[in-house]
Structure 1
Amino acid sequence: MNLKVAVCDDNETDIKYMIQCLNDWSHTANRVLEIHTFLSAEQFLFQYEEEKDFQILILDIEMGKMNGVELAKKIREVNQDIQILFVTGYPDYMSEGYEVDALHYLMKPVSQEKLVKVMEKAAGNLKSQEKYILLQGNGEMLRLPVNKIIYVEVFSHSCVLHMTDETVETRTSIGKLESELGTEFIRVHRSFLVHLSYIKKIVKAEIFLESGEAVPLARRKYAEVNLAFIHFYGGGQDLQ
């Protein structure tokens, strides 16, 4: 399982040490990490507007204008699944971690042994959250992770699942896929079903996706899709 990790700390020395610890763990545990670093909460929020697929967020607490706890509260408004880990030199904020369902607090200087245990727990939590769908596709029975399906397109007498790392063709109908994939997906056109988390922008006749692709939006679906998109991200609360 690949993991996308954000490290947010206003101390560059601490960031470098954290990257070293994470890389050591990834090599030992045979995991693939995609690590992004940020020097402020505001910098992370700016990036989060474009990339909402971070899975683990490692936060310093004492940072400039917005501290780590305030950032965690904003993220929790729209994302209940991300694993949040606080690192701090101050124990005073520990009680506030319960408000954002923080996975753990680690005191600075961070012990690599303790970090490894917390990362293993985070990876386990994320694994248990994964949803799969079983489909007959590409000539075989496939078990596909739902969170990697960007959109579904009707093509001739088949449906094509456009995923983050592959394309799968199945004879399963789009109606059946819509019912099985659940509320994270919305029918935007009679021939298109889209995962709400991959939508970047909605205009009158098109939906632009994080992948850079655009899919058609039926005129009668415009209001419904907008409303679903707003609800999906926590009632349209502004992250800025």
Structure 2
Amino acid sequence: MSRENEKTLIRIAVCDDNMRLCSDIEKCIFDYRENSQEFYDVEIYYSGKTIIEDLKKGIHYDMFFLDIEIEFMNGVQVGRFIREKLQDDNTLIVYMSSYTKYAMELFEVRPMDFLIKPLNEKKIIKALETGTKLLHKGEVSFQYKQGRNWNKIYIRNIIYFKAKDREVEMITQNGTITFYEALESIYEKLEPYKFFYAHKSYLVNYFHVSEFFYDKLLMSNGDEIGIAQTRRKAVRKIQKELLYKELSDDF
């Protein structure tokens, strides 16, 4: 297992039309990660429009360093897209600007920080450390690898997994993502978060099951998943145990 695979993946997007500034921020983060317990992955953007195109494809970032005055679609518009269109209140946004006149606009987007240019290493690292602490207190995510790149998704957005030949299809609220990994390996990671087998080829998120039937499950996206005959007793047991816990938590 590679060193970065053993660490927590934190994906960061840096967006500024100043290429030199983007490069400086990226270098600062990479220098910092050498002695960090996290593996920071950085993607550079030079326009807000390009960021939104990637977000629409389901690409996820834990933290943004956003210039406010970028062309075509400014940083505030990107922030509103994240908060309002994606309904994502967990992603951290750090705004960067040479001006201080944006206070009221930024208040609506709920940024983690606002950095005044010119930036220096101390400002960047302080924001990075604060963001890392907040992310560790936030939602649990699942890490997966596509090609050479590591990505992540919040567990609450995963509906189920389907094993297909040597690949795994991850059906999410935003579409299907395909990657290479053994379903059993995924189960070992996600079993504590209420994922269970309906069939040897289907790993299901309990919280996305709309209805339980004797021989099938109706999922939140409308898909039906058959329950293998050898799994029906175990699935009924899981249903009873988790339903009992939910009812107990309500009282």
Please give the TM-score of this superposition, normalised by the length of structure 2. Answer: 0.59
Q: Assess if the C-alpha contact under 8 Å between 1:150 and 1:161 holds in 2.
A: no
Q: Does 1:84 align with 2:97?
A: no
Segments of 5+ residues of structure 2 without an aligned counterpart are: 1-7, 142-153, 171-178, 199-203, 226-251
Judged with a 3 Å threshold, the aligned counterparts in structure 2 of structure 1 residues 32 and 92 are, in CA distance, closer, same or farther, namely: same
Q: Does 1:49 align with 2:65?
A: no
Larger Rg: 2
Which stretch shifts more, 106-115 or 161-170? Answer: 161-170
Count of paired positions: 181
In structure 2, what is the Cα distance between the partners aligned to 1:52 and 1:193? 27
Alpha-carbon shift at residue 105 of structure 1 (Å): 0.5
Alpha-carbon shift at residue 178 of structure 1 (Å): 4.5
Equivalent residues in 2 for 1:1-240, closer than 5 Å: 1-77=8-84, 78=86, 79-131=88-140, 146=155, 151-152=160-161, 167-168=183-184, 169=187, 178-179=205-206, 182=207, 217-218=223-224
Give a deviation string over 1:164-206, Cα, whole Å, max 9, x none: 865335798558x644xx35x767x976787x8xxxxx9x9xx
Describe the SS at the equivalent of 2:34. helix
Q: Assess if the C-alpha contact under 8 Å between 1:174 and 1:191 holds in 2.
A: no
In structure 2, what is the Cα distance between the partners aligned to 1:36 and 1:53? 11
In structure 1, what is the Cα distance between the partners aligned to 2:18 and 2:98? 12
Alpha-carbon shift at residue 116 of structure 1 (Å): 1.2
Judged with a 3 Å threshold, the aligned counterparts in structure 2 of structure 1 residues 165 and 97 are, in CA distance, closer, same or farther, namely: farther
Give a deviation string over 1:120-159, Cα, whole Å, max 9, x none: 1111211111348xxxxxxxxxxxx8469672459xxxxx
Q: Assess if the C-alpha contact under 8 Å between 2:92 and 2:131 holds in 1.
A: yes
In structure 1, what is the Cα distance between the partners aligned to 2:217 and 2:66? 38
CA RMSD of aligned residues (A): 4.0
Alpha-carbon shift at residue 11 of structure 1 (Å): 1.1
Higher relative contact order (CA 8 A, sep 6+): 1
